[in-house]
Structures are given as C-alpha cells and as structure tokens.
C-alpha cells in the first residue's frame, strides 16, 4: 500500500504546539472529534494561551502553575462562541486539552492574537475579555 504524505497548512506547523502530543491526547479523547476537528483543537489551544492572563485572575497565586478545574464563566462562554461548541462539549475539550494549552511555552503568542483578533472583537468585548499580545 502506498502512503500519501500529508502536509499541514502553514498555520498548523508552529513547532511550539507539540503536534504529536496533541494527536496523542486526541487519540485518548476521541469523542472530541465529534464536535471539534484538529484545527479547532489548535485554535482552542491558541485561545487559551491568549486567555491565560484572564483565567489566572480567578486563581489563587499558589495555583497559577496548573490549569483550573473549571474555566471562569466568561471564558467558557467566549470559547463556546468562538468554536461553535455546546456547553458540555466545551467542558470536555477543556478537560482534555487544558494541560497542553496551559503549559505550552509559545514563543510568539502575539501571532495567535493577530490570528484571532476578530473573535475577540466579535465575542470578547461583551464578556469583558480583551486581546492580550504578551
């Protein structure tokens, strides 16, 4: 059987997104594929990187090194709107991807902000969420 090489779009080739790790998590949490594709998972991770300062405001300083068990309601709602997810599906995605999204050491987070600026304008302002560039 001949294998056909798959090339990912340039935006998915950010070396800091640890694609094998994401693929591994998605293979364990296969139910996510029912409502979010691979690119949607990457978008979720990028948005969490941008939202980390907002999410951190709700954490005790001793707990800021790990993701919270639950997202603040405004962040949860923002992600629902940005990704077109239902409430329960957003919780499932957070539980599956929170560790990767929280611990990612992205070198160039402002690129994510530029990529998702319209989402912040469309959904963030009404929820008290701004766009973070650093």
Domain residue ranges of the chain, discontinuous segments joined by +: 36-127
State the burial class of residue 48 (Cβ atoms within 10 Å of its Cβ: 0-12, 13-18, 19+): buried
Global confidence as pTM: 0.81
For residues 36 and 83, the answer to whether their CB atoms sit within 8 Å is: yes
Structure tokens at 116: 């998702």
Residue 99, H or E segment: helix 87-103
SS (H, E, C) 29-88: CHHHHHCCCHHHHHHHHHHHHHHHHHHHCCCCHHHCCCCCCCCCHHHHHHHHHHHCCCHH
pLDDT tens digits for range 1-53:
444 433 333 344 454 566 788 888 888 888 998 999 988 998 999 999 999 98
CA pair distance 72, 79, nearest whole angstrom:
11
**pLDDT tens-place string over residues 54-79:** 898 888 877 778 899 999 999 999 99
Distance from the Cα of residue 52 to its chain's centroid: 10
């Amino acid at each position: 059987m001949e294998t056909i090489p798959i090339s990912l779009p340039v935006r998915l080739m950010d070396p800091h997104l640890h694609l094998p790790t994401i693929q591994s998590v998605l293979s364990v949490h296969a139910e996510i594929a029912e409502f979010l594709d691979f690119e949607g998972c990457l978008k979720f991770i990028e948005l969490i990187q941008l939202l980390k300062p907002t999410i951190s405001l709700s954490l005790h300083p001793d707990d800021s090194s790990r993701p919270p068990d639950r997202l603040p309601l405004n962040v949860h709602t923002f992600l629902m709107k940005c990704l077109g997810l239902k409430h329960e599906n957003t919780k499932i995605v957070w539980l599956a991807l929170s560790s990767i999204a929280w611990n990612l050491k992205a070198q160039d987070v402002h690129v994510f902000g530029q990529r998702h600026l319209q989402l912040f304008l469309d959904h963030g302002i009404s929820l008290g969420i701004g766009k973070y560039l650093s």
